[in-house]
Amino acid sequence: MGFLDISNATKSYGSVEVLHRVDISVEEGEFLVLVGPSGCGKSTLLNMIAGLEDITTGEISIKGQAMNGVHPSKRNIAMVFQSYALYPNMTVGQNITFGLEMHGVPKADRDSAMNDVAEMLQIKQLLDRKPGQLSGGQRQRVAMGRALVRDPDVFLFDEPLSNLDAKLRVDMRTEIKKLHQNLGTTIVYVTHDQIEAMTLSTRIAVMNGGYVQQLGTPKEIYDTPANLFVASFMGSPSMNLLPATIRVEGNAIHAEIARDGGPVRLAMADPSPKLKTYDGQEIVLGIRPEAITDLDGADRQSTHIEQIDVKIDVTEPAGSDTFITTTLGGKDCIGRMRADADVQPGQSVTLAINMEKAIPFDKGTEDRIV
Amino acid sequence: MAVASTDTAIRTGRVTRTVLYVVLLVFALFYLLPLFIMVANSLKPLSEITGGNMLALPQTWTIEPWLAAWSTAQVGVEPTGLKPYFWNSIRMVVPAVVISTVLGALNGYVLTKWRFRGDTILFGLMLFSCFIPFQIVLIPMARILGLAGLAGSTTGLVLVHVVYGIGFSTLYFRNYYAAFPTELVRAAMIDGAGFFQIFWRILLPSSGPIIVVCVIWQFTNIWNDFLFGASFASGDGAPMTVALNNLVQSSTGVKEYNVHFAGAILAALPTLLVYIVAGRYFVRGLMAGSVKG
């Protein structure tokens, strides 16, 4: 029994089920991020927690109280919307205290709560302005202030940073994280940006097609993705997914990958019994770009470094790193070299592949082979 | 080459502009001519009109016809002028405009932010009232007013105009509120505002332009209506338009054209005033929501 429990919740519009049996339990003080592409049902789930959408079957409870059918204002939640949804006709101060006013809080208490929040978010000088006179970042702060002032049990964020420019987005991300660390509040946060999900959350629910694909800590999601969707959705540049054939020789398991000038064989770091049953079959081998490096850049802690020679197709110097593209298994394969690695397109280089980070997936079911 | 073509562009621009302004001027004069004749003749003694040139400016200026039209002219059988009927019209138009605007705003709010099964069909049915000719409902309406005991009264006229006005006012507000961000309503719901609080505190304060459009439209239509006025309010209860008709039709003695002109302008003044005061919002409101920003 957690702080916020979503048990077996589904959502249907008519006969179309858009959210299938979601089961998530959030502890107090957790920062849960719902991440996925558009139309995956993440915003619908958030609206169901907020009470803006009905729950078709199942139950959502906060602090052990079932919330099905409870009006949004009675759930002790606060929500920050993508468009900020500031009331255009009210000043910033009135925007922040509107919720308190509607809940019948006396004026003096409202004002002191407003001042505390304005102090915390550094928006004191904006209190008399109208939302139309504020910049995007300021509006964002006001929207957060409006949520904070209510001192709710659960904060709900619906893609709050997607209307900001790139630099401001990174700043506000840090600020939201600080806020969470200082206040220790319970937050459910919806985004389609996997970097926001990784950096902010204590746990991530990756969603697709109305299903929760995987629920886990950012590290679990990143290092041991449950299936091909999670593997390719999380991480930038995304994980290389290479067709490979399993070859079992005694205790050793090799993945054989096609390459110009003869196939390469990579020894799998973890020779699990399950993987052995795939002898001779084709699988998908997932390797993150940072596990494919130049020799000097290879992880010294790793005991399973494989070296292969490849021809470089494209180089992309990104300042902090240089990304290279080569062809493995008939697909583009991206590797991450050190920034000053001397590589040219068309050149042949030796790459170090950290096989401890390589993940085998079943080609049919798309699930990770464990 | 480049210089030459710029010169040509400027020259053709100037020619087009001149032609444009001349055409516009001609049209403006064309439309102003009737008004000019009305104003000029309403300020002449009757002898100057009957004596000949209607297009000429008055030789003797007088406001006597205006005073007569307002307070002493023969309307029907009574020499009351248009004054009492002017107040009849005000008593009819103000409540009718206010009630139909408020109901339209509420309808628009419900039809866009509190959607329910069949709401589009209901809206479609309400739109019918914008297209049904007045004449069709005369007899059923007379029967209903009779049953309700409102026949021949100003209250009855208000009811008729409200019923007819709701179609248009709902159309205006529904389309305006359709572009109003639903997230604001949701935020207010989470903040704990109820149905009417959201309407009163969030939606209405942002509805200025569309309220102006709706008021202008309803005011003009209801003020200018003749058919309902002539059918459902007779004698002392008649609105301005009916009284003006009676003034012009009164056949005792000579036709006082100068008084008729003054009366017609008096009847048109309130709508003119509403347009001048609120007109600039009218186009703005009609365009609202069609373009972002």
Express each pLDDT in B172-195 by its tens digit.
899 889 888 888 888 998 888 888
Q: How far is A23 from chain B (nearest CA, A)?
A: 24
Q: Which residue stretches of chain A are H helix? A: 42-50, 92-102, 107-121, 136-148, 166-183, 194-200, 218-223, 228-233, 273-276
Contact assignment for A72 to B189 by CB distance below 8 Å: yes
Tell me if chain B has a CB within 8 Å of the CB of A64: no
pLDDT of A202 over the 90 cut: yes
Which is more confidently placed, B278 or A134?
Answer: A134
Q: How confident is the model at residue B291 (pLDDT cuts 50, 70, 90)?
A: very low
- Taking CB atoms and an 8 Å cutoff, what residues of chain A touch B183? 81-83, 85
CA dist., res. A326 & res. A333, Å (int): 5
**At CB < 8 Å, which residues of chain B contact A?**
181, 183-184, 186-193, 197, 201-202, 205-206
CA dist., res. B101 & res. B176, Å (int): 13
**Residue B286: predicted pLDDT:** 56
Please, are residues A201 and A218 in contact by the beta-carbon 8 Å criterion?
A: yes
Which of A296-310, A354-368, B75-89 has the largest mean confidence? A354-368
pLDDT in tens, A243-288: 999 998 888 888 999 888 788 888 888 778 888 888 889 999 999 9
Closest to B223 measured CA to CA, from B171, B168, B270, B164:
B270
Spatial neighbors of A5 by CB under 8 A, at least 6 apart, are A24, A25, A26, A59, A60, A61, A62, A64
pLDDT of B24 over the 90 cut: yes
pLDDT of B143 over the 50 cut: yes
CA dist., res. A288 & res. A222, Å (int): 10
Contact assignment for B206 to A88 by CB distance below 8 Å: yes
**Residue A225: predicted pLDDT:** 93
Spatial neighbors of B2 by CB under 8 A, at least 6 apart, are none
Q: How confident is the model at residue B285 (pLDDT cuts 50, 70, 90)?
A: low
* Pairing of β A252-257 and β A264-267: antiparallel
pLDDT of A313 over the 60 cut: yes
Best of B191, B196, B198, B202 to mutate (most A CBs within 10 Å, chain A): B191
Contact assignment for B186 to A88 by CB distance below 8 Å: no
Q: How confident is the model at residue B282 (pLDDT cuts 50, 70, 90)?
A: low
CA dist., res. A175 & res. A170, Å (int): 9
**Residue A359: predicted pLDDT:** 92
Q: Per-residue pLDDT averaged across A341-361, rounded?
A: 89
Half-sphere exposure of B266 (CA within 13 A, CB side): 30
Q: How confident is the model at residue B252 (pLDDT cuts 50, 70, 90)?
A: low
pLDDT of B292 over the 50 cut: no
Q: How far is A261 from chain B (nearest CA, A)?
A: 58
pLDDT of B28 over the 90 cut: yes
Tell me if chain B has a CB within 8 Å of the CB of A55: no
**Residue B21: predicted pLDDT:** 94
Q: How confident is the model at residue B45 (pLDDT cuts 50, 70, 90)?
A: confident
In chain B, whose CA is at the least distance from the CA of A132?
B293
- Taking CB atoms and an 8 Å cutoff, what residues of chain B touch A81? 183, 186-187
CA dist., res. B243 & res. A27, Å (int): 77
**Residue B283: predicted pLDDT:** 66
Closest to B270 measured CA to CA, from B82, B54, B46, B65:
B82
A184: left (phi over 0), alpha (psi -120 to 50) or beta: left
DSSP code for A367: B
In chain A, whose CA is at the least distance from the CA of B293?
A132
Tell me if chain B has a CB within 8 Å of the CB of A76: no
- Taking CB atoms and an 8 Å cutoff, what residues of chain A touch B186? 50, 52, 72, 79, 81, 85
pLDDT in tens, A3-49: 888 888 899 988 888 989 898 999 889 999 999 998 888 999 999 99
Closest to A87 measured CA to CA, from B185, B111, B190:
B185
**Residue A244: predicted pLDDT:** 92
Radius of gyration over every alpha carbon of chain A, rounded to an integer in angstroms: 25
Q: How confident is the model at residue B100 (pLDDT cuts 50, 70, 90)?
A: very high
**Residue B289: predicted pLDDT:** 43
Contact assignment for B186 to A52 by CB distance below 8 Å: yes
Phi, psi of B143 (to 5 degrees): -65, -45
| Per-chain mean pLDDT for chain B | 83
In chain B, whose CA is at the least distance from the CA of A157?
B187
Nearest neighbour of B191 by CB, restricted to A83, A88, A102 = A102
DSSP code for B82: S
In Å, how far from its chain's centre is CA B257?
Answer: 26
Size of interface A-B (CB pairs under 8 A): 55
Q: How far is A319 from chain B (nearest CA, A)?
A: 39
CA dist., res. B70 & res. B244, Å (int): 11
**Residue B4: predicted pLDDT:** 58
Contact assignment for A89 to B206 by CB distance below 8 Å: yes
Please, are residues B92 and B129 in contact by the beta-carbon 8 Å criterion?
A: no
Q: How confident is the model at residue B50 (pLDDT cuts 50, 70, 90)?
A: confident
Please, are residues B129 and B166 in contact by the beta-carbon 8 Å criterion?
A: yes
Radius of gyration over every alpha carbon of chain B, rounded to an integer in angstroms: 25
In chain B, whose CA is at the least distance from the CA of A74?
B192
Q: How far is B193 from chain A (nearest CA, A)?
A: 6
Contact assignment for A99 to B186 by CB distance below 8 Å: no
- Taking CB atoms and an 8 Å cutoff, what residues of chain A touch B187? 79, 81, 85, 87, 146
Total residue count of chain B as it appears in this document: 293
Contact assignment for B191 to A99 by CB distance below 8 Å: yes
Contact assignment for A85 to B181 by CB distance below 8 Å: yes
pLDDT in tens, A164-201: 888 888 888 998 898 899 888 899 999 999 899 999 99
Q: How far is B182 from chain A (nearest CA, A)?
A: 9
